[in-house]
Amino acid sequence: MMQLQKGDITAFGGDAIVNAANNSLLGGGGVDGAIHKAAGPQLLAECKTLGGCETGQAKITKGYNLPARFVIHTVGPVWYGGEKGEHELLERAYRNSLELALSTDLATIAFPNISTGIYAFPKPQAAQIAISVVKEMFVKAHDLQVTFICFDDENYQLYQKLLA
């Protein structure tokens, strides 16, 4: 099942939220900053033990003070114009986050709009990639519940159209 919400992903009370992190996993701006602020300093302490994360890969931590039990940290690509493998890297970020959730036996997971903030990936293309990778995953994971949480109006409206 796929659903759409507008607002702040740190309020999500399911099994896991996905963080649009950077390669260091040591915190940043945007949704990453909001997640670390809400989770508390123990999240950064655990992230420091992970040795960073390559673009397109994903790593999992506990959620600490968040309502969600876990945080899946993934790194989306920076948009350099579309000829640097950006599409495939964004697909991998979504796919690897979902695979990690499944291998940890998590069923309710929320995504922000990875790479569409500071990393400047075009929002319409990013939304199509996110939805198509999640649909692919439903073929083998029938009980998965994916919530797209859009913080900005443009993403929210794009997802509303694509999911209608």
Residues within the interface to ligand ADP (CB under 6 A): 8-10, 20, 30-32, 34, 76, 112-119, 149, 151-152, 155
Which of residues 100 and 156 has its CB atom nearest to ligand ADP in the complex?
A: 156
Residue of 8, 32, 143, 152 with catalytic role: 32
Which of residues 27 and 145 has its CB atom nearest to ligand ADP in the complex?
A: 27
CA dist 85 and 81 (Å) reads 10
Angle between helices 86-103 and 123-138 (to 10 degrees): 40
CA dist 44 and 28 (Å) reads 11
Which of residues 61 and 155 has its CB atom nearest to ligand ADP in the complex?
A: 155
- 15 catalytic residue (yes or no): no
Nearest distance in Å: CB 29, ligand ADP: 6
Question: What is the DSSP annotation of 106-120?
Answer: --EEEE--TTSSTT-
Closest CA to 106 of 60, 149, 74: 60
Nearest distance in Å: CB 49, ligand ADP: 22
Nearest distance in Å: CB 33, ligand ADP: 8
Q: Which residues are catalytic?
A: 32
